Chains A and B, each alone.
Chain A
Amino acid sequence: MEKLYVHELRPDGEVSTVGLFYSRTEAEHIVAQLRSLPEKQNCRYEIVEAVAHSSSTSLRRATREPAKE
């Protein structure tokens, strides 16, 4: 499954992450909605692929059993 961050780049230089989305269509839809807001007219948006976290690819997972609850 595709994983994409949407970042909001504000005119003052601040970067705020909007969220993690699981398809480009969904991420683009969110960006379009944000761009339509008057108070967001001066913001820019970027959609970037989420890089796998180190914990998700470590050996730890292979050595651990699933929860038994």
Chain B
Amino acid sequence: MRGTTPRREQGMADPVLASMVQAMGLETAPHFAAATPKIQAYRDRWAELAKFRDGSVNVQRLQVNDTAEMTRRIKAKALELGANMVGICRLQPRMIDLGEDLPHEFVIVSCVTEDYEKVLHGANAVEEEAMRTYAKCTEIATELAAHIRGMGYPARAHHNGGSEVQAIPIFYQVGFGELGRHGSLINEKYGASFRPGFVTTDLPLTEDKPREFGVQDFCMNCNVCRRNCPGDAIPDDHVITHGIKRWLIDLEKCYPYSRLRDEYCHLCVDVCPYNVKSHPDTYRHFMKERKRIGYKTPKSW
């Protein structure tokens, strides 16, 4: 199946970032150069696991007579490996990178939640937590793909060490939530404080369904992320992609804060009111601090 969604290159492969870094007379983005040893270790972990994304398939194929039972087993396995949420859907062209050919029928997404408390400990703590979570997702996806290949079905892991899939359309389709104004998917329980790993496979499975709970309507009026963005990179207006509202972040405005200085910027996600459900006290404390330094907080505060 051929993909139809353009991938925004990451890191220095992103032409927008590369040209901005070049204009500064640098070789790499200051943020990447300032990685702590812990962050570098997490990056090394997913680079190390990249070679295990795919592999040989057991010739003794396990017969699947009950796809619901197999789905339950696969989800249980992902949770046992450390995932907090697991979803499954049929792979569609818009879930695959433009120009890539993925021969699989299903995609399994396993997400690990971030410890939101880190917002109280500064940008480095938030970034280390994000990278820890990505590394964990990489391990889960790698293990899960190997487990499925062991049952006699092709399976490939997709993570920070290598991927041909698009996170947001998959998140939406499996019912994890809805796309928020800040460009990340918002889950009812965890907000946008989670990271994913994926496995594409031919193992027969049962699909989850999309689930909406009013995020996009809420984002139309909330604007807390937009008003807290130091670069003013989150737009007022949305576009429509595949019938879903999408606010396209202006990278030229985002990067001076998220890539061209040493510290991480994750503020758009950290200030999102959907974090209040899972971490009411921390969120209130964090937003009071934002208010103190002059930023907008939710209306009722």
A binds B: yes
- Interface residues of A, Cβ cutoff 8 Å to B: 1, 3, 5, 14-20, 22-23, 26, 30, 33-34, 37, 39-40, 53-56, 60-61, 64-69
A3 to B250, CA, bound (A): 9
Q: Does B182 sit within 8 A of A, measured CB to CB?
A: no
Q: How far is the CB of A44 from chain B (nearest CB, A)?
A: 15
21 of the cross-chain contacts (CB-CB < 8 Å) are A1-B252, A14-B243, A16-B242, A17-B240, A17-B246, A19-B248, A33-B98, A34-B98, A37-B2, A39-B4, A53-B250, A55-B235, A55-B236, A65-B293, A66-B230, A66-B257, A67-B257, A67-B265, A68-B293, A69-B122, A69-B265
From DSSP, what is the main secondary structure of chain B's interface residues? loop
- Chain B positions 81 through 103: 1 when the CB is less than 8 Å from some CB of chain A, otherwise 0: 00000000000010000110000
Contacts of A54 in B (CB 8 A): 236
Taking a contact as CB atoms under 8 Å apart, the answer to whether A53 and B235 are in contact is: yes
Between B6, B237, B241, the greatest number of chain A beta carbons within 10 A of the residue's beta carbon is seen for B6
Taking a contact as CB atoms under 8 Å apart, the answer to whether B294 and A3 are in contact is: no
Give which listed residue, B2, B98, B263, contacts A69 with CB less than 8 A: B263
* Closest B residue to A29 using CB positions: B6
Q: How far is the CB of B206 from chain A (nearest CB, A)?
A: 26
Contacts of A61 in B (CB 8 A): 232
Q: Does B136 sit within 8 A of A, measured CB to CB?
A: no
Taking a contact as CB atoms under 8 Å apart, the answer to whether A69 and B267 are in contact is: yes
Give which listed residue, B239, B265, B267, contacts A17 with CB less than 8 A: B239
Taking a contact as CB atoms under 8 Å apart, the answer to whether A16 and B257 are in contact is: no
Taking a contact as CB atoms under 8 Å apart, the answer to whether B98 and A20 are in contact is: no
Contacts of B263 in A (CB 8 A): 69
Taking a contact as CB atoms under 8 Å apart, the answer to whether B6 and A67 are in contact is: no
Taking a contact as CB atoms under 8 Å apart, the answer to whether B248 and A18 are in contact is: no
A17 to B245, CA, bound (A): 10
Give which listed residue, B98, B99, B122, B236, contacts A53 with CB less than 8 A: B236
Between A15, A55, A61, the greatest number of chain B beta carbons within 10 A of the residue's beta carbon is seen for A55
A5 to B263, CA, bound (A): 30
Give which listed residue, B6, B235, B236, contacts A19 with CB less than 8 A: B6
A17 to B252, CA, bound (A): 19
Contacts of B76 in A (CB 8 A): none
